[in-house]
């Protein structure tokens, strides 16, 4: 039995990060509409930058892993063909 690829196992984490980033962005926009909430915008902006950085790192790791796995699979298939 073949284990699921890391990209398949990362899909839930990627979806959660995307959801958190979307919700934080929406709340940040709401804060910007209320001048009394400007002090909270600093923290909301910091949270968005942090989530965006983590999101991009997870996506990059998944893509890099997938490319490496595909290359390994291709070289294995080529070895079998010989």
Q: Is residue 2 part of a domain?
A: no
Other beta carbons within 10 Å of 33: 7
Q: Count of domains in the chain?
A: 1
Determine, yes or no, domain membership for 57.
yes
Specify the DSSP class assigned to residue 64.
Answer: H
39, part of any domain: yes
CA distance 44 to 50: 10
pLDDT, tens digit (0-9, with 9 covering 90-100), for 19-65: 988 998 898 888 888 888 888 888 888 988 998 998 888 888 878 87
The answer to whether position 82 is within a domain reads no
Domain with 30, as residue range(s), is 7-76
Residue 74: pLDDT band (50, 70, 90) is low
CA distance linking residue 15 with residue 82, whole number of Å = 41
Distance of alpha carbon 49 from alpha carbon 25, whole angstroms: 10
């Amino acid at each position: 039995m073949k284990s699921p690829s890391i990209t398949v196992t990362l899909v839930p984490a990627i979806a959660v990060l995307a959801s958190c980033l979307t919700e934080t962005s929406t709340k940040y926009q709401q804060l910007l509409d209320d001048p009394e909430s400007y002090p909270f915008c600093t923290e909301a902006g910091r949270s968005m930058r942090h989530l965006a950085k983590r999101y991009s790192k997870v996506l990059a790791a998944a893509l890099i892993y997938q490319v490496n796995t595909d290359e390994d699979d291709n070289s294995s298939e080529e070895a079998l063909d010989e």
